[in-house]
Amino acid sequence: MGSKTPLYQAHVDAEARIVDFGGWDMPLNYGSQLDEHAAVREAAGMFDVSHMTIVEIKGSEAKPYLQYLLANDVAKLQESGKALYTGMLHEDGGVIDDLIVYYLNDAHYRVVVNAATREKDLAWLENVAQQFDVSVEERSDLAIIAVQGPEAIEKAQATFSDEQKAAVSELKPFMAAYAGDLFVARTGYTGEDGYEILVPDNKAIELWNALINAGVKPCGLAARDTLRLEAGMNLYGHDMDETVSPLEANMGWTIAWEPEGRDFVGRKALTEQKANGVARKLIGLVLDGKGIMREGQEVVLNDEVVGVVTSGTMSPTTGKSIAMARVQRSVDAEDVLVQVRKKQIPAKVVKPSFVRKGKSLI
């Protein structure tokens, strides 16, 4: 038996198919992942992502600590509630995890890390914290519900009190605010607008049910994966990990090189990589023929294996098989072949962003 989120019983009651996800019993789908995917693209769906780990970073040196810990620079965060996406790197530049950090004040930041990486993340956070006057405190008393889709904000707000609505009415993308006992962030992982709502765990089911009554469809991790891949968003452990540089995973934009004086873990390695060029890059693929690309399949060019699919699926929105693949940096072709089971099938090389705001980009 795995760990259970505060919403576990709600998933069972809704007859979700429960699977093990990094030690957590999580809903894979509630019947049809295609219906759930469509709900997020066309109206509003929600995900229980309470398995993700929330960490409070507090103390007089919270800011210099995170400036040293993370490749992106938390000094960019000036306004309370502002969020930043960043990698947390090893000295050699490999990605320990990707995460979102929310700024509350100079002595208090909130970090949300992946579920499957919880233990090593916490160990790393604690390890680096020894050099700073900070406390690293895991919050296990909060659940997280991600409400996503073109109608997500309207439908979520329908469950809020007037005070809560007022607190979030001016919330811009990548901003968060307290709304009563909720912490509401306008962030997400589907390529749609929406909120990620942190809620006290004893109120999670109440909020979940209120969202259902407002017309938000419960969605499982299966739909979450097809949605994030269509949006071209990396998944840790698939599209990048400790053996991959952020420069090889389209995460170059998350590295804050300026100011030059800011030292951060991995900076030296990344600087060398930038000067010498990295060996690989992440590309998007759209399959021309019939079949479905899957993680681990080889990418072939001129009879040579030049890379591997890191995430692949059938894209429900476009009806085509899409994938992200890590290939040699020298690959400059418009078309490659992918070894899909026993056949080599042509695939178009595209930017790894396939669907945005419900519209196909391919």
Binding site for another protein (CB under 8 A): 17, 28-29, 32-34, 222, 225-226, 290-292, 294, 313-314, 316, 341
Over the Cα atoms of the chain, what is R_g? Answer: 21
Closest distance of CB 92 from another protein, Å: 33
CB atoms within 10 A of CB 333: 15
Nearest distance, CB of residue 314 and another protein, angstroms: 5
Q: Would you say 211 and 145 are in contact if contact means Cβ atoms under 8 Å apart? A: yes
- Residue found by looking up tokens 């901003």 in the block: 175
In the complex, the smallest distance separating the C-beta of residue 229 from another protein, rounded to whole angstroms, is 10
Q: For residue 6, which amino acid is it?
A: P
Q: What is the DSSP letter of 188?
A: -
Length of the chain: 362
Place of tokens 């680096």: 128
User: At what angle are helices 33-42 and 221-230 packed, to 10 degrees?
Assistant: 50
Vertex 44: Cα angle to 42 and 46 (nearest 5): 135
Query: Cβ 240 to another protein, closest distance in Å?
Result: 21
Rank residues 168 and 235 by Cβ distance to another protein and give the closer one: 235
- Find tokens 């509401």 and name the residue: 184
- HSE of 78 in the Cβ direction (CA atoms, 13 Å)? 1
Phi, psi at 19, each rounded to 5°: -130, 165
94 close to 137: Cβ distance less than 8 angstroms:
no
Coil, strand or helix: which one is 35? helix
Task: Name the minimum Å distance from CB 193 to another protein.
Answer: 24
Minimum CB separation of residue 354 from another protein in Å reads: 14
Q: Closest separation between CB of residue 252 and another protein, Å?
A: 30
Q: Residues with Cβ < 8 Å from 58, sequence gap 6 or more?
A: 107, 108, 109, 134, 135, 137
- The minimum distance between CB 249 and another protein, in angstroms, equals 22
Q: Residue 37 or residue 51: which is nearer to another protein going by CB?
A: 37
User: Sign of dihedral through CA atoms 66, 72, 77, 82?
Assistant: negative
Give 40 or 143: the residue with its C-beta nearer to another protein.
40
Of residues 32 and 131, the one with the C-beta less far from another protein: 32
Nearer to another protein, 30 or 264 (CB): 30
Q: What gap in Å lies between CA 35 and CA 38, rounded to an integer?
A: 5
Residue bearing tokens 């307290």: 178
Nearest to 229 by CA among 37, 9, 26: 37
CA 256 to chain CA mean position, Å = 19
Which residue lies nearer to another protein by CB, 32 or 60? 32
CB of 297 to another protein, least distance (A): 10
Please say which residue, 32 or 330, places its beta carbon nearer to another protein.
32
Name the residue nearer to another protein (CB basis): 120 or 343.
Answer: 343
